[in-house]
């Protein structure tokens, strides 16, 4: 959709943040992390309540119930539409995994497919010494995407997960992390979509910087 | 690389932080949320708030404090003490806690681990276990017995067997507190920590006995712990989280 530049700037003002609440875990810590940055996000439980602005797509839990929750609230269509429109969207943890195609969780779950690729479990056999889920602070090697402005290489972030994303295109991988014999995609992105496997809302100063950078990502180009 | 975690524990009694020695005698050391925010800024990787009077007073942990902590902290935190059932777990998590620690309740009603893991995910369910060294026997082959109610009541249960059962039931992490070394500041119980850590495939937090950074290095290396919990070292002994982590890094332990 084309609109006047002035409108576009207003639409993607850094203060308009909508968090999708689709029943996948507790969103308190995500909301509070934005509040610490001086932004008061709106939580919505239906696509009908979305007005405009940046979208945060968090989530903890399993892929199967996550997708059900998204569909029941019309968020699957909303995410497709806004991704196509170039709205900045931040996926976190399960939210990131649901952006991909097939997930091996729950016997196979079709994700949103907004980023080509699949979601697979860590293979304990690859490193019998590690513990699953991957829980704790781990380092991220990023490619210098605007989401990581001011974040040093190998800064640590807080992870809790047992499955990981395997995007088809290297260009969709914005950062990688080592665990259980994998150098997995811990940050992915495609167009205005960005997503982290880690929890920026629980990752101290480095996580706060990622959230701040998300608020500064540009929306659709004016034309 | 997955880093080793430094966790700071705050024992909260009537809304204030206290530090006890072997569960006896407590000294007031400050406001829990103010202290937690300071430790967060100083480099703590995680916080634990333990409401040590909630159980005896038959109430849930202080939810106002949990909500204040959630607002102030940008790192994960666990609350324990006073959790009576899944409804209390839900209340603590909704107030903003990342994890809930279950100790005596899990021993007395182990099904709560399963209920909690199913409802909230096992990453939210921390098993806190207090273990005491005893002569090895057929009932307690590891030589470490689980004790409950603040260390006052032996259970006749083997610590390693209980750790395995708790993980099977849904615990996503285990905090191993050694009664014999707690508050003594002469080092963690390395053998107990290693036995538990090697027996389960969930992260293990070592607790009880830290007095200097070398103790953390030892338990993270020889004790095979994933995280080390400290209290009096940073509350009253003058150590900083940053200082402890610098010492750990100098010892070759990967830390944030």
**Using one digit for the tens of pLDDT, what is the confidence trace for A14-33?**
679 999 999 887 799 999 99
Residue from B44, B76, B205 whose CB has the most chain A CBs within 10 Å, to mutate: B76
Average pLDDT, chain B: 93
Task: Give me the residue from B5, B74, B120 closest to A136, CB to CB.
Answer: B5
- pLDDT of amino acid B17: 86
- pLDDT band for B124, please (50, 70, 90 cuts): very high
Q: At a CB cut-off of 8 Å and minimum separation 6, what does A79 contact?
A: A20, A55, A57, A70, A89, A99, A112, A114
Task: Give me the residue from B3, B71, B172 closest to A156, CB to CB.
Answer: B3
Residues of chain B positioned with their CB less than 8 A from the CB of A29 = 70, 96, 98
Question: So what's the architecture of B5-250 in CATH?
Answer: Alpha-Beta Barrel (3.20)
- A141: closest chain B residue by CA: B1
Please answer yes or no on whether A138 and B74 come within 8 Å at the CB atom. Answer: no
Percent share of chain B, pLDDT over 90: 79
User: What residue ranges do the domains of chain B occupy?
Assistant: 5-250
Flag whether residue B56 sits within 8 Å of chain A, measured between CB atoms.
no
Percent share of chain A, pLDDT over 90: 82
- pLDDT of amino acid A3: 43
Segment B193-215 mean pLDDT: 96
Percent share of chain B, pLDDT over 70: 97
Report the length, in residues, of chain B: 256
Please answer yes or no on whether B3 and A136 come within 8 Å at the CB atom. Answer: yes
- pLDDT of amino acid B20: 62
B205 pLDDT more than 70: yes
- pLDDT of amino acid A220: 61
Beta strands in chain A (DSSP E): 17-20, 42-44, 54-57, 89-92, 102-103, 109-110, 117-121, 134-142, 155-161, 163-167, 173-179, 182-190, 193-196
List alpha helices for chain A, DSSP H. Answer: 5-11, 28-36, 63-72, 75-85, 94-98, 204-216
Burial (CB count <10 Å: 0-12, 13-18, 19+), residue A185: buried
3-state DSSP of chain B: CECCEEEEEEEEECCEEEEEECCEEEEEEECHHHHHHHHHHCCCCEEEEEECCCCCCCCCCCHHHHHHHHHHCCCCEEEECCCCCHHHHHHHHHCCCCEEEECHHHHHCCHHHHHHHHHHCHHHEEEEEEEEECCCCCCCCCCEEEEECCCCEEEEEEHHHHHHHHHHHCCCEEEEEECCCCCCCCCCCHHHHHHHHHHCCCCEEEECCCCCHHHHHHHHHCCCCCEEEECHHHHCCCCCHHHHHHHHHHCCCCCC
Tell me, what's the ipTM? Answer: 0.92
Burial (CB count <10 Å: 0-12, 13-18, 19+), residue A166: middle
Q: At a CB cut-off of 8 Å and minimum separation 6, what does B36 contact?
A: B8, B10, B44, B47, B49, B69, B72, B73, B77
More confident residue, A155 or B19: A155
- Give the residue numbers of B marked as catalytic: 11, 130
- pLDDT of amino acid B23: 56
C-beta of residue B30 within 8 angstroms of C-beta of residue B16: yes
All domains in chain A, ordered by first residue:
5-216 (3.40.50.880)
Query: Which residues face B7 on adjacent strands?
Result: B46, B229
- pLDDT band for B162, please (50, 70, 90 cuts): very high
Please answer yes or no on whether B121 and A207 come within 8 Å at the CB atom. Answer: no
Please answer yes or no on whether A136 and B98 come within 8 Å at the CB atom. Answer: no
Task: Give me the residue from A134, A135, A139 closest to B173, CB to CB.
Answer: A135
- pLDDT band for A97, please (50, 70, 90 cuts): very high
């Amino acid at each position: 959709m084309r609109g006047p530049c002035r409108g576009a700037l207003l639409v993607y003002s850094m203060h308009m943040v909508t968090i999708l609440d689709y029943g996948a875990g507790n969103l308190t810590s995500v909301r509070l992390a934005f509040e610490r940055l001086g932004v008061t996000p709106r939580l919505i439980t239906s696509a009908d309540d979305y007005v405009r602005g940046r979208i945060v797509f968090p989530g903890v839990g399993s892929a199967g119930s996550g997708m059900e929750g998204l569909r029941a609230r019309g968020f699957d269509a909303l995410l497709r539409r806004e991704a196509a429109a170039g709205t900045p969207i931040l996926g976190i943890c399960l939210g990131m995994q649901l952006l991909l195609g097939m997930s091996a969780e729950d016997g196979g779950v079709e994700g949103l497919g907004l980023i080509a690729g699949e979601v697979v479990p860590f293979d304990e056999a690859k490193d019998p010494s590690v513990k699953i889920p991957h829980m704790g602070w781990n380092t991220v090697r990023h490619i210098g995407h605007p989401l990581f402005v001011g974040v040093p290489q190998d800064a640590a972030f807080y992870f809790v997960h047992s499955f990981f994303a395997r995007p088809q295109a290297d260009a969709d991988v914005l950062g990688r992390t080592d665990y259980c014999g994998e150098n997995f995609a811990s940050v992915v992105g495609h167009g205005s979509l960005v997503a982290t496997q880690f929890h920026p809302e629980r990752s101290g100063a480095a996580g706060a910087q990622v959230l701040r950078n998300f608020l500064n990502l540009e929306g659709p180009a004016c034309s | 690389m997955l880093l080793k975690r430094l966790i700071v524990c705050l024992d909260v009694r009537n809304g204030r932080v206290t530090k006890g020695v072997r569960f006896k005698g407590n000294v007031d050391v400050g406001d829990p949320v103010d202290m937690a925010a300071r430790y967060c800024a100083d480099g703590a990787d995680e916080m634990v708030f333990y409401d040590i009077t909630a159980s005896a007073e038959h109430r849930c942990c202080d939810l106002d404090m949990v909500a204040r902590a959630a607002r102030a902290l940008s790192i994960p935190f666990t609350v324990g003490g006073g959790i009576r059932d899944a409804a209390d777990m839900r209340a603590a998590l909704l107030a903003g806690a990342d994890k809930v620690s279950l100790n005596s309740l899990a021993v007395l009603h182990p099904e709560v681990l399963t209920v909690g893991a199913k409802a909230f995910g096992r990453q939210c369910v921390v098993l806190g276990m207090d273990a005491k060294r005893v002569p090895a026997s057929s009932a307690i082959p590891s030589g470490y017995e689980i004790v409950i109610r603040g260390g006052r009541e032996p259970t006749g249960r083997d610590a390693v067997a209980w750790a395995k059962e708790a993980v099977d039931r849904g615990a996503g992490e285990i905090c191993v507190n050694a009664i014999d070394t707690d508050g003594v500041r002469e080092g963690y119980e390395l053998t107990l920590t290693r036995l538990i850590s090697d027996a389960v495939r969930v992260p293990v937090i070592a607790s009880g006995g830290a007095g200097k950074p070398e103790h953390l290095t030892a338990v993270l290396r020889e004790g095979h712990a994933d995280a080390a919990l400290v209290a009096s070292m940073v509350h009253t002994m003058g150590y900083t989280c940053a200082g402890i982590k610098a010492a750990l890094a100098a010892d070759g332990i990967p830390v944030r």
